Amino acid sequence: MIEPVEDTGPVARRTIRILSYNVHSCVGTDKRLDPGRVADMIAQISPDIIGLQELDVGRKRSGGIDQAEAIASLLKMDFQFHPALSVKEERYGDALLTAFPMRLRRAGALASIGEPRGAIWADIDVDGQPVQVFNTHLGLLRRDRLRQAEELVGPGWLGHPDVQGKPTILIGDFNSIPSSAPYRTLAARMQDVRHHAGGLAKPTFPSRFPLLRLDHIFVSGGPRILNSEAVENPLARRASDHLPLLATVEI
């Protein structure tokens, strides 16, 4: 006898807001060091998952504070930080922040000839749906960026078996415009939220007079892109030298 299949109804979907933000060590275009102002900028946007780049932790130049912890505390979020650069007690790198349950999967260096770079990967539970989230900041040298993009799509990161076919988000300052080889390497594997959301994608750098699209958010494995925008207002133009990049997707 064949048992009837239970109809569980439509699958519940959740809309989330994703932010990529290079915070320039929390030094604004007015030269003011102010992690609180960066947190205020983020709070205005109300993102659910945040990838931050260029954070100082324990560095003399920024007062010795842990910027990742300070911003996460102000936003009442959990965080994971990876130092791309460590010199004695001073660290500099990138972080993932969220109020959803988060488990660190990997944090490590990327191949670099110039300034050290890295990436961070976490499994974030969005109302019972595991989402693989990556944050990175690619190098200033073209050959570094290409090697780093190729490494990211390899088996240690986006090509890992635990990522295949699952909802995945890649956040970062890629120092790469859309016509560049590093960008094309990533866009061949994932969807750029700005391209697929339609409309004219505004640049994110420099924040006072934006000219270049260097910050990107990519998705794969199921998230449906609803909207994306470079957030441009007086606070955004002062708080950092990059504008925040916000994407809204449905998981």
Q: What is the DSSP string of 131-169?
A: EEEEEEE--SSHHHHHHHHHHHTSTTTTTSTTTTTS-EE
Q: Which residue has the tokens 């866009």?
A: 187
SS3 assignment, position 75:
helix
pTM for the full predicted model: 0.93
Question: Is 217 in contact with 204 (CB distance < 8 Å)?
Answer: no
pLDDT tens by residue, the chain, 251 residues: 444 445 455 567 899 999 999 999 999 999 999 999 999 999 999 999 999 999 999 999 999 999 999 999 999 999 999 999 988 889 999 999 999 999 999 999 999 998 999 999 999 999 999 999 999 999 999 999 999 999 999 999 999 999 999 999 999 999 999 999 999 999 999 999 998 756 678 999 999 999 999 999 999 999 999 999 999 999 999 999 999 999 999 99
CATH of 15-250 among 3.40.50.920, 3.60.140.10, 3.60.10.10, 1.10.3720.10: 3.60.10.10
pLDDT in tens, 173-231: 999 999 999 999 999 999 999 987 566 789 999 999 999 999 999 999 999 999 999 99
